[in-house]
Amino acid sequence: MTTSTATTEFDAREALRQHFEKNGLANFEKTIELLQELDFYKHVLAKLEQGVDLSNELPEMRNLKIPTAKKIVKQLIADSEKAATLVWESPIKLFSTSVRSSIDESSLLPCFDVLYAAKVSNEPVKIALKTWRRKLTVSVEGKEAACETVHRQLVLAGMRGV
């Protein structure tokens, strides 16, 4: 009597694509939240510079003098701008990340072009992420063995909680 042997095929390239698609969607949503915060802070700064009293709308500002409030809001603007660009960075040092953003006049949302590049065993692996409105496309380039190594390192990093 023969027994069946369970076999499964593993496609590291597809696993990487799915991983970066999931993370890309989360990063995109976080970026939109940060850009909304940035717009809010810029609106508050513009009102403060016009001399508008915002103490009714923003109770946190009741005890602040105008110059202090402006300084705080400018710092919040800088922090939001920095956070919006850092959202796309990979927490794993294996990747170098390149992020470009643009605003298309036919869309209210920015478009992002993100490239994650890794080099394992002298073989490059490139993962390109592109957004258009709320649509995200991910492509993975590299030899299968290099993709498997990168995927293995992502899994290990996830187990370590990175």
Distance between CA 108 and CA 149 in Å, rounded?
38
For 65-102, the pLDDT digits (tens) are: 888 889 999 999 999 989 988 898 887 888 889 988 88
Q: How far is CA 76 from CA 15, 25, 33, 71, in A?
A: 37, 25, 14, 9
Q: What is the mean pLDDT of the chain?
A: 87
Tokens at residue 84, please? Answer: 């919006």
Task: State mean pLDDT over 34-57.
Answer: 89
Q: For the chain, how are helix, strand and coil distributed in percent, rounded to 5?
A: 50, 20, 30
Distance between CA 70 and CA 117 in Å, rounded?
40
Task: Let me know if residue 136 belongs to a domain.
Answer: yes
Residue 25 above 90 pLDDT?
yes
CA dihedral 9, 13, 14, 18 (to 10 degrees): 140
Task: Let me know if residue 5 belongs to a domain.
Answer: no
162, HSE (Cβ side, Cα atoms, 13 Å):
13
* Residue type for position 47: K
Task: Let me know if residue 33 belongs to a domain.
Answer: yes
* Residue type for position 160: R
pLDDT of residue 121: 82
Residue 8 above 90 pLDDT?
no
Task: State mean pLDDT over 28-40.
Answer: 92
Locus of tokens 């956070």: 83
Strand partners, 139: 128
pLDDT of residue 26: 93
Tokens at residue 3, please? Answer: 């027994």
Residue 6 above 70 pLDDT?
no
| Percent of the chain at pLDDT exceeding 70 | 94
Element (H, E) at 99: strand 96-103
Residue 5 above 70 pLDDT?
no
Split into its structural domains, the chain has a count of 1
Domain range for residue 83?
12-160
Task: Let me know if residue 1 belongs to a domain.
Answer: no
- Reported as a pLDDT band with limits 50, 70 and 90, residue 162 is low
For 104-122, the pLDDT digits (tens) are: 787 778 888 999 999 888 8
Distance between CA 109 and CA 130 in Å, rounded?
13
pLDDT of residue 1: 58
Q: Which of 21-35, 93-107, 128-142 has the lowest mean pLDDT?
A: 93-107
Task: Let me know if residue 6 belongs to a domain.
Answer: no
Task: Let me know if residue 116 belongs to a domain.
Answer: yes
Say how many residues make up the chain: 162
Distance between CA 59 and CA 37 in Å, rounded?
17
